[in-house]
Structure formats: C-alpha cells, structure tokens
Amino acid sequence: MARTIVIVFGAALLAASTARAAEPAGSGFEIGVRTGYAFAAGDRGAPPNGADQPVGDYVAGQVPLWLDVGYRLNSNVYLGGFVQYGFGIVNDDRQDACRLDNVDCSASDTRLGVMGRYHLPVGSLLSPWLGFGVGYEWGTFSLHQSLIGSSNTDSTWSGFEFANLQVGADYHVVPKVALAPFVSVSIGQFRHISTKTVTGTTTTTTDEDVAATSLHEWILIGVRAAFMP
C-alpha cells in the first residue's frame, strides 16, 4: 500500500512539472474526488458491560473513495459537502476469529459532512490550501461464518466527527483540472452501537449507547483530483 501511495504522489508531481502556471479559479461549482490510505488511531469507546479497545485492533486502516461537491465563492474560498466510503483493512493479527477456516471478516467506514477550504495566493505551479470539516461517521465490522450452519454479524459504531483538518496543494494540470497531494486528520467519537446477527431465518438486533466514550482519529495521506469552474 505504501508503494502505491508513492506512485500516486510521483504521478501528481510529474504532471505538475509539465503544467502551466496556476490560474486563479473563478466562482462556480467544483467537484473533487480523492483516494489514498488512512491509518487508524485512538479508541472505539466501551460498550455496556464491555471494555474500550483501539480502533486499530479491528481495522488497521482503510482505503477511502471520497467525493467533494461544493461552490467556489471566489479564487480563495470554497464551501461544500463531502461523502466518503472506506474499504477497511481488517487487523487479523488482533482478531483471532477472523483467522479461522470458513470465517470471513470485513470492515468499512462511511463519513458524511460539510467542509470549507481556503486557498492561499496562487504560486507559479501550485495553489496551497487549508481545509476544515465536520460530519457524522459510521464504522462497520462484519463477520461471516459458515463452519456450523451460517451466520452473519454486522456491528456498526456511529457518532460525530468533530473536526477534519486538511492541508494540500493544487497542481494545475490544465487551467480547470488540478491534482492535489494532501494530508487530513479527522477526530471523531462513537456514541452508538448497532448489532445485527442473522442465523438461518432468525435475525437478532441490538441498539445501545456507548457506555464510556473515547476519541479516535483517521490520518489520511492521499491525492485529490479537482474539476474547477
């Protein structure tokens, strides 16, 4: 995965080396798509009658697909919304059940929110920017086993994302299209747990609040492609 990130960044920088000087974007709608790799940090929070555990014990990281849709007020200020679906990398080393025969584990992370971005004065090839967002997050861990009969268990932890801090720089490939290496750190707190277990024709669901909350973070290193007004 680290090799893939290096290749993506290298491609972005290579494109930038042949780009024309950056031109200030005008006002209008802007769309951006992002991907990369996000490292997990922090804790999930303790369920009732349970213990708190690091997010990384379940999901070591994730590969997100992130969509930005918003409006460029002027060359410096952007306001919009975002949605992200992340493909989780299950930490099999910490989840013994996931290493058993006929047991498959998977994970995902969904984020939805609003954000703003401020672009610093345009340079010869790039436009550095700072971003801030808030939103809501759903993290799901699923276990499917077919060793004895068949059962599926989906556990979803949800809560607010208090802050998403971003820094990046747009390299203008052409005047209206840019590639942007970026780093973001999101800070959230799960507040609710929902578990659904399906065994044969029987479905069992539970919904409960987290008994002791904790903060967790996603540290994302990625690249953004932007289509500007």
pLDDT for 182-229, tens place per residue? 999 999 999 999 999 998 888 899 999 999 999 999 999 999 999 988
The model's confidence at residue 145, banded by pLDDT at 50, 70 and 90, is confident
Q: What is the pLDDT of residue 22?
A: 52
Nearest to 176, CA basis, from 225, 228, 123, 128: 228
Q: How confident is the model at residue 125 (pLDDT cuts 50, 70, 90)?
A: confident
Most confident of 22-26, 55-59, 174-178: 55-59
List the end-to-end C-alpha distance of the chain, in Å, as a whole number.
33
Q: Which of 221, 222, 215 is nearest to 55 (CA)?
A: 215
Which range is least confidently modeled, 6-10, 140-144, 149-153?
A: 6-10
Q: In this predicted model, what pLDDT tens digit does every residue of 62-111 receive, in sequence order?
A: 999 999 999 999 989 999 999 999 999 999 999 998 988 889 999 999 99
Who has greater pLDDT, 47 or 124?
Answer: 47
- Does the structure show a pLDDT above 80 at 5? no
Q: By the 8 A CB rule, do 190 and 148 touch?
A: no
Q: What is the mean pLDDT of residues 130-150?
A: 91
- Indicate the pTM of the whole model: 0.85
Average pLDDT for 32-52: 95
Residue 121 binned pLDDT confidence (cut-offs 50, 70, 90): confident
The answer to whether 130 and 166 have CB atoms below 8 angstroms apart is: yes
Share of the chain above pLDDT 90, in %: 71
pLDDT of residue 146: 79
